[in-house]
Structure 1
Amino acid sequence: MKQSMRGNVLAVVVGCLVMLPSLAAADNLSRFGFSGNAAISGYNNEHLTGVTPLQCADACLGRTWCKSFDYYRNDAACDLSDRSAEDVGGLKTDYAGNPFDHYSVLPSGFSRTPNAAIYGYNNEHLTGVTPSQCASACLGRTWCKSFDYYKYERQCDLSDKSAADVGGLKTDYAGHPYDHHARAPAGPQTLFALKNVGRNEYFNINDEGSYWPADFRLQSAKDESWTVGDTSFGPNVKTFTTSITPGYCSNGSPSNGCPDQYRLCAYSSSGFRARVSLSDGYVGTPSNWNGPECAWIVEDLGNGRFKMRNQWLQTTYGAYIGYLRCSYYYDCTFDYGSGSDTTAHWQLE
C-alpha cells in the first residue's frame, strides 16, 4: 500500500530510505570493505599518523566527506579520501613491496567478518570488483543475503544463505583469503508513487509499447509503487525501483513469482534522457543496474519535494548537466541550470 508522507518524505529520502535495521557491529571497522595490497593513487584529503586501522575507520566515519582510506601497514598511518575506487577508475595494486591496504565504506546494511567465509552455497561469482561493488550487486538481487570477498583477487561470491542458515562461517582457510559480508535482513519497504510536481503526473511503467520512449510515461494515475534504495556512491545517492507482476522467469514463462523489476536510469540518445532498465529472470540484470547511470543524487527542496541529478552524468560532465525534468509526458531530459523549473521537482506520495 502506498503511504502519503508529503511532510516528512525528504527525511526518509536523505536519511535511510531502505529502512534497514541497525547493525550490532563489534566496531566501526566492520563497516568497511577490505582490499589487500591496494590503494587509491592520489586523492588524499587527510593524513593520520600513529593510528590503527580501527582508528582510521572511526576518523573516516566521523567525516561526512570520507568514503575510504588507505592504510600504511608498516608505518601505522593512513590517508583519508573523499573518493572511492569506483570514483577514480579502480585501485592501484602494483606498489613496490605492497605497503598499503584499502578500506572502503560499505553501503548501509552490510557488516564484514574478516578471515571467514560461507563454505559453498555460491550462487553468483563476480570478478574485477571491489567490496562496495559486490555489496551493490547483492542489494540488487532480492535473493542475496551475503557475499564472500576474495580480498587479494578482486572477486566475490554472492550467496542466498546467511551464516546462520548454514551453521556458521568457516574460519580456517589457508592464508585467510576471504572476508565475509553479511547483509542485514530488510524490514518492510515503504512504497511510494513518484510524482513530477510541475506536470502533476506520476512516473509509471509503459509496457504497452504505444509511446516513445516505450518504457515509461507520466500520467494522472498512480499505477506503480516505487522503493528507494541506498547505493555505494554516497548517503544522498539513491535508486528508484518498481516491481511488476507477472514477470518472466528464467525459462521465459510468466509468473507472479518472478517479478519484472524496473529501475530509473539515464542514457544518451540525441542528448541525455531518463529511461528505465529492466531486470528479470529471463533477460537477467543489465550491467548498469548498480552503476552510476541508475543512481540519483537527491537534493532537498523542502515541503516534501526534491530534485535529482544523475551520478553518471555528474561524474562524467560535472555541473554542465543539471537536473532531471519532464517537459512532456513521454520524455524526461536534463536541464543545464539550477533545477528551478517545477518540472524538475519531484515528490513521493
Structure 2
Amino acid sequence: MARKQRSIVPIFIPHQGCPYRCVFCDQNEISGVEHSEDATRVRQAFETYLFATPPNRLPLKREVAFYGGTFTGLPAVRQEFLLSQAQQQVDAGWVHSIRLSTHADFIDAEKLDRLARYSVKTVELGVQSTDAGVLNRSGRIDAFCNVPRAASMIRERGFELGMQLMIGLPGDDASLFLQTVSDTIALQPDFVRIYPTLVLRGTALFELYQKGDYTPWSLERTVPVLARGVRMFQDVGIPVIRIGLHPEPSMLESLVAGPHHPALRSLVDSRLAREELTTLLDQGRPLPEKVVVRVPSERISHYTGHQKENVTYLKNRYALGHLVMQGQRGLTAIGLAT
C-alpha cells in the first residue's frame, strides 16, 4: 500500500489570544481541551500522530498545525515555547513544516520575524466575512479593516497565505457571501477553507437561536451557494482545501442546529458536477431517449450525486428514459458517448 503524501499533527491550544468573542465560537468545546499545560498537550500530539507510527509508515510530508486560538495574539514567550517544541521535531526529521491560524490584527513585522525564525510555512487568517454588518452582528467589530494589510505582509515575507471563510453568519445571505468570495479573490490567497455556521451549545449564537433571533441556514440553502463560491475560486485557480468542520466528537456533542453534514464537500462537488452535466446536455439537444455520458472514473460519484440525485434530476429535467454515467480512466472533461 502506498504511503500517504501528507498529514497534519494537530495541536489544539485553548481560546487565548483572540480579541473577539464571536457569537459562533466556544473554543474549548471545538478544541476538546481546556486547561492542560502546553507541554503535555504538545507531547501527547507527537506521541499520537508521530511516535506511535514506524518512520517508514509515516506520510511523506508531516506538518505541525496549531489550532484553536489566535496564535500571534498569544504572549510572545508562549509563542516561542510552542514554536520551539515543534521546531525540535522539524530538526529531528519527524516533521517538515509548521502552520498556524491567527487574526489580521495580530500581524506585524515583529510577529512575522518571530515566525520566520522557525519552520513556519503557512499562516492562515480567520476572515469569516468581508461584510461589516455581518461581522459586527457576529461579534467581530471592524474585523476586516486590517485583513488586506496583513495578507500583503504575509505574502511579502514568503509565507503561504490561507484564508478561512464562514457561510450563514448572522445577517449573511447569498449575495453577501459571494461578495466575500470576490473580496477574498482580490487578496490572492494561496488557498481557502470554508466552514458552515453551526449552532453549538455554550455559544452566544445558541442563545440567539433559543430566543428566535437567529435562524441557521439549512443544508438545502447552503450547498448551492457554496457551489457558486467554490466555482468562483476554481475559475481563478485558488484551491478550496476544506469545506466543513472536522467532526470532532466534542463538537458533535455540542451541535444543536445548522448545515452540518459529514460529507459536505462531496455534496458541493456533486452540485458542481450537476452544473457541468446540465451545460453539456443543453448543448447536445435534441437528446435521444437514452443518453450515455463519459465522465472521469475517479469522480463518477460526484456526477451521479448523493443517492443518484443528479441522475434523477437530469432525467426529469430532460425527460430522459435512461441516463448512464460511464466512468473512463484518463478523462479530464466530460462528454456524450457516440
Instruction: Please give the TM-score of this superposition, normalised by the length of structure 1.
Output: 0.26
- Bigger proportion of residues as helix: 2
- For the pair shown, which has the larger CA radius of gyration, 1 or 2? 2
Instruction: Please give the TM-score of this superposition, normalised by the length of structure 2.
Output: 0.27
